[in-house]
Amino acid sequence: MNPADLGLPVDVPSTALFTDQYELTMLQAALKSGTADRRSVFEVFTRRLPEGRRYGVVAGTGRVLDAVENFRFDAGLLDFLKERKIVDEPTLRWLASYRFSGDIWGYPEGEVYFPGSPILRVEGTFAECVLLETVALSILNHDSAIAAAASRMSTAAGGRRLIEMGARRTHELAAVASARAAYIGGFNSTSDLAAGFRYAIPTVGTSAHAFTLLHDSERDAFRAQVDSLGRGTTLLVDTYDVAEAVRTAVDIAGPELGAVRIDSGDLLLVAHRVRQQLDELGATGTKIVVTSDLDEYAIASLAAAPVDAYGVGTQLVTGSGHPTCSMVYKLVARSVSADPRAPLVPVAKKSLGGKTSIGGRKWAARRLDADGVAEAEVIWVDTVPPGLADRQLLVELVKGGEVVAREPLDAVRERHIAARAGLPISAMQLSKGEPVLPTEYV
């Protein structure tokens, strides 16, 4: 069964109004001026990484492809636009038959990126491309921020398992997207069942403090959980006294107890004490899971602790301090007329305050050093530099309006692990620094 085919409540019937009003007013004006059909190239990129970050992670591409397919104006949406007098009748008639028919290229999902990287390139008429700006940025800015935070946490965890637990800390639909992005960034599972159903991400979860408080004693609560879920379950041991709870847990479940979870206190100290106690009680195989407002720095501080898994919520789903990547969607080339054969000319915004852009339809490659480690992100307009033809990063995602590059989420996750491993080792540092690769324009 493919959950994506079921029309789940985490989806929406149309993405057409996931946009800013000025996209439609620009469309109306372009239709009236005769420029709407000019062939155009838009690119998604960021001028800088979030402060202190050394690389970015491309996430959300698969969701962008879904959004493009679902970008349709049905009768109800058109009635809304008409009643609000947002666009005129000719524009409404144009929107009624809207289908994106252009091409989209981009960095494959899971890849890393740097300032200036052409993360997504959308080509078609001005009219059909401009409408996709807001929804594409909404998805890519959110998902890439979560994936970048997840990647840093994955590095800090050093191979220990990571559980995404942030559903209660964000919007219910954002929670599903966050779990997907976290899985790409290196997390192993999620507590969110909608994400598990929609994207086949492994799900986990046992009990909260409320379950212990429901019962007349902690022993009764543990007995009820073990009787229901088996000895391999995870028991939450910090509702009252941790040492007493661990003794009770092993007494009830025996050495086959799957794990204990610690959700408060000095996690480093408590984890050491719990590990020693478990070993003394013969539960040497029982694992320790820690939660409690973790971020990448807290995870790194627990590297010496006998911890087997981390549960992360708030900091993950808010990008660990950087909830957006500041990606933009800019027109970089357009034809001189509506004639499909008319040549493209580069265009670029010129302004003060660091908001300039570079015109032209761009490609990118990652140059490697003699040891096969990435040393630069190379970006060029049109002509492939010698020696980089086999290192190009952009792949075709949509051709003639048809999606051509859907892939399993596990493949995306594996790509990210490989891409991150190909960076200089300094990329793994959590301390603030500059992008680990320079961006070179040729």
Q: How confident is the model at residue 332, as a pLDDT?
A: 97
Report pLDDT for 5.
Answer: 54
Between CA 158 and CA 166 the distance in angstroms is: 21
Does one domain contain both 113 and 127? yes
Structural domain of 45: 3-131+326-441
**Residue 25 lies inside a defined structural domain of this protein:** yes
Q: Are residues 297 and 342 in the same domain?
A: no
CB < 8 Å & 24+ apart, contacts of 81-89: 81/24, 86/21, 86/24, 86/25, 87/24, 87/25, 87/27, 87/28, 88/28
Residue ending a domain, among 321, 350, 375, is: 321
pLDDT in tens, the chain (442 residues): 455 555 445 556 789 999 999 999 999 999 999 999 999 999 999 999 999 999 999 999 999 999 999 999 999 999 999 999 999 999 999 999 999 999 999 999 999 999 999 999 999 999 999 999 999 999 999 999 999 999 999 999 999 999 999 999 999 999 999 999 999 999 999 999 999 999 999 999 999 999 999 999 999 999 999 999 999 999 999 999 999 999 999 999 999 999 999 999 999 999 999 999 999 999 999 999 999 999 999 999 999 999 999 999 999 999 999 999 999 999 999 999 999 889 999 999 887 666 778 999 999 999 999 999 999 999 999 877 888 888 899 999 999 999 999 999 999 999 999 999 999 999 999 999 999 999 999 8
In a domain, 137, yes or no: no
pLDDT for 390 equals 85
Q: Indicate whether 176 and 231 sit together in one domain.
A: yes
Query: How many domains, in total, are found in the chain?
Result: 2
Q: Tens digit of pLDDT for each residue in 414-423?
A: 999 999 999 9
Q: Is residue 140, in this structure, part of any structural domain at all?
A: no
Looking at residue 240, what is its pLDDT? 98
- Model pLDDT, residue 107: 98
**Domain check: are 93 and 151 in the same one?**
no
Q: Which residues of 317-347 are buried (b: 16+ CB within 10 A; e: fewer)?
A: bbbbebeebebbbbbbbbbeeeeeeeebeee
Predicted pLDDT of residue 353: 67
24 domain-assigned: yes
Claim to verify: residue 162 and residue 304 sit in the same structural domain: yes
Q: What residues does 403 pair with on adjacent strands?
A: 398
CB 362 within 8 A of CB 330: no
Q: Please tell me whether residues 104 and 167 are part of one structural domain.
A: no
| 165 shares a domain with 62 | no
CATH of the domain at 357: 3.20.140.10
Q: What is the pLDDT of residue 118?
A: 97
Spatial distance between the Cα atoms of 214 and 270, rounded to a whole number of angstroms = 25
Decide if 302 is inside a domain: yes
**Same domain for 296 and 335?**
no
Would you state the pLDDT for residue 24? 98
Q: Are 154 and 78 in contact (CB under 8 A)?
A: no
Asked if residue 116 and residue 11 are part of one domain, the reply reads: yes
pLDDT of residue 333: 97
Q: Is 124 inside a domain boundary?
A: yes
Are both 280 and 402 inside the same structural domain?
no
Q: Which of 263, 288, 321 is the last residue of a domain?
A: 321
pTM: 0.94
315 and 166 assigned to the same domain = yes
Q: Is 383 within a domain?
A: yes
Of the three residues 288, 321, 354, the one that is the final residue of a domain is 321
300 domain-assigned: yes
Q: Does residue 317 sit in the same domain as residue 336? A: no
pLDDT digits (tens, 9 = 90+) for 256-285: 999 999 999 999 999 999 999 999 999 999
